[in-house]
Amino acid sequence: MTAETVEGVPPRIGDAVATATTTAPKRGPSSGWLAKVLVLVIGIAWTVPTAGVFISSWRPEPEVATSGWWTVFAHPFDFTQYTLANYQRVLTTEDMFEAFVNSLIVTIPATVIPITLAAFAAYAFAWTRFRGRSFLFAVVVGLLVIPLQMSLVPLLRLYGDYDLTGTFVGVWLAHAGFGLPLAIYLLYNYISQLPKDIFESANIDGATPFTTFTKLVIPLSYPALASFAIFQFIWVWNDLLVSLVFLGTNPDVAVVTVSLAQLVGSRGAAWHLLTAGAFISLVIPLVVFLLLQRYFVRGLLAGSVKG
Amino acid sequence: MAETVKAQLETNRRPRWTIVRDLSVAVAVVVLIWLGLRVLRSETALDSLGELGGKLVQALIGIVLGVVGIWALFIVANSLVELLPARATTVIRPYVFVGPAIVVLSIFLVAPAVGTIIQSFTEVPESEGPLYNYVQAFTDPDIQIALRNNVIWLILAPLGAVLIGLAFAGLVDRVKRESVAKSFIFIPICISGAGVAVIWRFIYEWKPAGTPQIGVLNAIVTALGGEPIPWLQEIPVNTLALIVAFIWVQTGFAMVILSAAIKGVPTELLEAARIDGAGEFQTFRRIVLPSIRGSIITVFTVIAVAVLKVFDIVYVTTNGNFDTDVIANRMFNEMFRFRNFGFATALAVILLVAVVPIMVVNVRNLRRQGIGA
């Protein structure tokens, strides 16, 4: 069951945005060839940078170093000019495979942990009464504006004391902490708007607050949970700062963004490797984005309150 | 009705054996999580599985531990609270739900932020006063360059992204396959800063004159008869080059928000303007622009905050060399490379002071539009 089926649930943040990414009826004269040309020009200009990296990643080393990637278009279907060697090389000798797995180890718990903490907290803030409720919620909202740079130095020292630097647990918790204010805020906005009746009837039927939460609140909040999950997933996957500070560059734990930054430092002119590495680092967010664009846009808009 | 009341009463009556069961489950969960953490942190535990096998088993343990562990902790805590007398349960349970989040927030945001502010005044050389780090920050020539660059970024990056995003949003309204066209502009926003840095370093790649250029930009320059330009080394073009990469990322965000806002302008309003003889451009300027003012402010402020905190693009592209430094990159280097912790905390506070006013404008504006709290 999704929220759409519950009567009385108001439209949410960014629904307009979400529908705007799908096709809407055209308005105004669709005459202008100028509009079409301009859209095409901007579209091409925005695609060329990624396309160049993508094409280069399949070209053999000597060609990448001595000729522009656009020269493949002279004979685009001549498949002898493409090779898998760059990917093989980057995944094995440059530790990118390990980094890719590390990114998954970091990203999945660093998404689920804050979302779980936030869902429980948002539910308690919205539907239970306890002392200090409004004060604590105000603090959470206030924390939205704090840049995470404010936390780095003291946390780095704390992690040093407890041997947490360079551990996955340490980086999960750091990402959880930094993502929590937004998660609570977003989920509170949604959960607090769920119709009151469902909580009353659940209570009458003898459901404890815990089962109400797991059986009703979680399924009904699915759109908000999905929006935040995708936003946080892509945010964590793409993060460089937090991973660099708390996990570091040791290949046992380094994530793809760190590994790619290392590669730029050590092999800055080896474009056949850099392009393949860049593509490995962006394939997961790209797939997630293309499949779940609607939710991502919603999360992004709601995320605009993050400091 | 009687049925449900009976059911409710039953849930409040707890036979003794459930207490034993719940407690032993709680102990088992805690032990399992502890063991999992031990394996995850151990250097050698998985060595017998070989390199690849060890890595994949580690991934499995890590992901299961993180994902299941957090749920297990809540379930255990809840069942322990339910062992208490019913009244105590009602009072304490909200804290079980809110508590973990509050603890994590306190450890990772509240306490460190307070610590950062204090340390920025206390971690100074012995002979110096508490303002030493701040005086340094505003007199050190390198930091001044970083501050100046942040101001340049702050002016150009939001402006560029908003103007192109607005133009594209206005134009794309009139073409077929609108969503496909939008996706192309939007894709860069899901690419990491490190990835963006590689992509744009490749665009700006420089080879000596006379050899074939493999970077798009210098290929164009030389094809037009010019000398190849080292875009990332030449001052001040290099800062602009970085800003262009950043605009490339943020335009999609601006476009999506503004496009939604443009679609929200009532059709009757647009038709009335057209009937009154307003041209397309005039309709856009006089009707559409004023109606989407709130959204434009939102986009501006969001990108401005992102600009102030920009780190990864600069770090991976130039690492602040050749006068391209910015505050967030400097803060990272002071902390991580030079171990200048006091100075790094002062830079973080400067960042905070710059971000907060923009966030205040943003939140007020969102409230006026009825989005958010």
Query: What does the alpha-carbon distance between residue A198 and residue A195 come to, in Å, rounded to a whole number?
Result: 6
Contact A177 B107 (CB under 8 A): yes
User: Residue A153 sits in a domain of what CATH number?
Assistant: 1.10.3720.10
Asked if B260 and A16 come within 8 Å (Cβ–Cβ), the reply is yes
pTM higher than 0.90: no
Higher pLDDT, B180 or B214: B214
> Considering only residues 280 to 319 of chain B, which have any Cβ-Cβ distance to chain A shorter than 8 Å?
280, 298, 301-302, 305, 308-309, 311-312, 315-316
How much is the pLDDT for A25?
47
What's the average model confidence in pLDDT over B51-73?
81
Interface contact A176-B108, CB threshold 8 A: yes
* B71/A285 CB distance under 8 A: no
- Please report whether residue A23 resides in a domain: no
Position A43 in a domain: no
Q: Rounded distance, CA B258 to CA B268, Å?
A: 19
In a domain, A153, yes or no: yes
pLDDT, tens digit, 9 for 90 and up, residues B209-246: 888 999 999 999 999 999 999 999 999 999 999 999 99
- Greater model confidence, B85 or A304: B85
Range of the domain at A275: 50-71+80-305
Asked whether residue A9 is assigned to any structural domain, the reply reads no
pLDDT at A159: 95
Mutation site for A-interface testing, chosen from B64, B87, B175 by largest number of A Cβ within 10 Å: B175
Better-scored residue on pLDDT, B13 or A44: A44
Q: Is the pLDDT of residue A6 over 50?
A: no
pLDDT band at B44 (very low <50, low <70, confident <90, very high): low
Nearest residue to B200 (alpha-carbon basis) of A286, A241, A53, A44: A53
Looking at residue B247, its pLDDT comes to 97
Mind giving me the DSSP string for B101-156?
HHHHHIIIIIHHHHHHHHHHHH-S-TTS-TTHHHHHHHH-HHHHHHHHHHHHHHHH
What is the tally of structural domains in chain A? 1
Identify which has the larger pLDDT, A21 or A223. A223
Q: Is ipTM beyond 0.85?
A: yes
Which of A90-94, A100-104, A203-207, B50-54 is the least confident region? B50-54
Question: Is residue A264 in some structural domain?
Answer: yes
Q: Model confidence at A14, in pLDDT bands (50, 70, 90)?
A: very low
B331 touches chain A (CB under 8 A): yes
Look at residue A4 and tell me whether its pLDDT is greater than 50: no
Chain B residues 91-150 within an 8 A CB cutoff of chain A: 91, 93-95, 97-98, 100-102, 104-105, 107-113, 115-116, 119
B4-21 tens-digit pLDDT: 555 554 555 555 667 777
Instruction: Compute the mean pLDDT over every residue in chain A, rounded to the nearest whole number.
Output: 85
- Could you tell me which residue, A33 or A42, shows the higher pLDDT? A42
B58 in contact with chain A, both atoms CB, cutoff 8 A: yes
For B61, the enclosing helix (H) or strand (E) is helix B50-82
- In-domain check, residue A5: no
Residue ranges of B 256-285 with Cβ closer than 8 A to chain A = 256-257, 259-260, 263-264, 267, 270, 274, 280
Count CA atoms closer than 13 A to A125's CA, side-chain side.
30
Domain boundaries, chain B: 2-122, 135-368
Q: What is the mean pLDDT of chain B?
A: 87
Residue A175 has pLDDT above 60, yes or no: yes
CATH architecture of B135-368: Orthogonal Bundle (1.10)
Residue A138 lies in a domain: yes
Among the listed ranges A12-26, A47-61, B203-217, which one has the minimum average pLDDT value? A12-26
- Partner A contacted by B202 (CB < 8 A): yes
In a domain, A109, yes or no: yes
Flag if A66 and B199 touch (Cβ within 8 Å). no
For B250-302, write each residue's pLDDT tens digit: 999 999 889 888 888 888 888 888 888 888 888 888 889 998 998 899 899 98
